[in-house]
Amino acid sequence: MAETLRPDLCIVGAGSAGLSVAAAAAAFGVPVVLIERGEMGGDCLNVGCVPSKALIAAARRAHDIRQAGAFGLGTLDPQVNYARVREHVHSVIGAIAPNDSAARFTALGVRVVRASARFVARDTLEAGNVIVKPRRFVLATGSRPAVPAIAGLDSVPFLTNETAFDLTRRPEHLVIVGGGTIGLELAQAHRRLGAPVTVIEAGRALGREDPELAAHVLAALRRDGVAIRENATVSEVAGEDGDIRLVVENRGTRTELKASHLLVATGRRPATDGLELEAAGIAHDERGIAVDQHLRTSNRRVYAIGDCAGPDGGGRQFTHVANYHAGLVIRSALFRLRPRVDMRAMPRVTFTDPELAVVGMTEEEARADGGRITVLRWPVAENDRAQAERRTEGEIKVILGRGGRILGCGIAAPGAGELITPWTLAMTRNLRIRDLAGHTVPYPTLSEISRRVAMSYYTPSAAKPMVRRLIGFLRRFG
C-alpha cells in the first residue's frame, strides 16, 4: 500500500536548485520531501561543473609544465595518464558528494525519496510507493544534452558531457561538434592533455559572446593546437568505436574527417520526460516549463526553477542561476513575498584559459537597446602581475550609459571568473563607474585591471581646457 505524505514542499530533482531549496526550507523547520531518480547532486556535481573544472585543472598543470622554459626552468613533456586523470576527476566528485548526499539531507530533516516522479493530478504526485500531496511543488529536474539531427549519429558511439569524463585512454583524434562554452572548455582541456582536437561549429565559435573578447579565447585555443572550423556543419556520421567518419560541409564544400572519438556539445534541453505535466495542468514546450516572473507555472501550486524553467526564468542554464532561482522560491513559498526574476546582473563564465566572463550587456546589445554609450577597454598586458606570470592574453571591456552607469562588463583574462565579481556587485547595487575608480586594490594583482579601466573614464577630462584652467587658477594659491 502506498504511503501518503503531506509536506509543505515537495521538490523534484536533487541538483543544485532542488538541494538549495530543500536545505533552506529545512533550516526554517519546514516539512520537505525531496524526490530524485538519479544521482544526488545532479549534473553539476556528477557530469557537469565539478568534473569539467577538475579536468581543466589537470590540463592546466600539463600546460604549465610545457611552458616552464619561459621562467628559466627545464622544459619537459608531461607524461599524461588518462586513467589517472579520470581518478583525479572522480576523487574530486567523491570529496564533494557527501555535501549533497541523501544521508546529509535526511539528517537535516528532509524526507528523501529515490524514485521517478509523475503527476497524477494537479495537487498530487506519485514516486515509487509514495504519494505526495504538498502545499507547493518545486520542479528542479535540470537538463540533459541536446543531440542534433545528424544522419547516422544514432548508430555511432559518441560522447556528451555526461560521458566525457570516463575516458581512460587518450583519444587519437577527438572531434567536438559544437563551439560553445562546453565544447571549447573540453577541447582545450583534452588538447593540453595531449589529444589532437578538432571543433566544428555551425556559426561563430562562442557566438553569443562579444567578438572582441571571444577572439582572445579562440586565439589561445588555436595556439594550443585546437583546430576550430567555424561556419561548418556535420551532415553525416558513420563508423564504429575508434574509427568514426564525419562528412563536414562548409560553404558548399564537403570534406571527410576521421575521428577516434566524437563528442557532441550542441547545448542542453530541459529534462521533463516522465513527469506527466499535463496531468497537473502545467504548460511546457521544448524550451522548458513555462513560468512567470515569479517562477510559478500555469499550475499555481507549482514552481519550476533551474535548467528546466522556460525562457521567462532567464533562459540560462548555469548552477548559479539555479541557486538564484532557489532563493526566489524560498522567499515566495515560505514568506509570501513576490520577488521577480531579474537577470540584468547575472554573470556567466567560460572556463577556458584565458577565461571569458560577462555580466550585463555586451556592446552589441547596448547599441541595439538605443541610447548613448561609452566603451572602455584596458589590456591585460598592461598589468604588472600578468607580466610577472607571463599570462598577458586578454582585455577588460566595460559598457557605460549616461552618467557613468554600468551597463555591462566583459573580461577575457586569467581568472576572469573571479575578476567579474566586483562588476556584478556594482550592477546589483546600481553603483557607477566612479565607485570602481575610487576603490583601492592591492598591488600587484590582476584586480588592478578593473580599477585602471574605471579610471580611464576620466582621462578625456584631463585634456579639457576648462579643467586645465581651473588647475592653473588653484596653483596660484600655493
Q: Which residues are annotated as a binding site for FAD?
A: 53, 141-143, 307
Query: What gap in Å lies between CA 112 and CA 119, rounded to an integer?
Result: 18
* Edge-first strand listing for the sheet containing 253-259: 233-240, 243-250, 253-259
Any residues with CB less than 8 A from the CB of 156 and at least 6 apart, and which? 237, 238, 239, 240, 244, 262
DSSP code per residue over 226-250: -EEE-S-EEEEEEEETTEEEEEEEE
Q: Are 352 and 224 in contact (CB under 8 A)?
A: no
Q: Are 342 and 375 in contact (CB under 8 A)?
A: no
Q: Are 102 and 109 in contact (CB under 8 A)?
A: no
Annotated binding site: 53, 141-143, 178-185, 201, 267, 307
**For residue 195, which phi and psi values (nearest 5 degrees)?**
-90, 135
Annotated binding site for NAD(+): 178-185, 201, 267
C-alpha cell belonging to residue 231: 561556419
C-alpha cell belonging to residue 42: 545532479
Query: What gap in Å lies between CA 344 and CA 431, rounded to an integer?
Result: 14
* Distances, alpha carbon 1 to alpha carbons 51, 111, 128, 131, in Å: 41, 18, 11, 10
Cell numbers 521567462: residue: 312
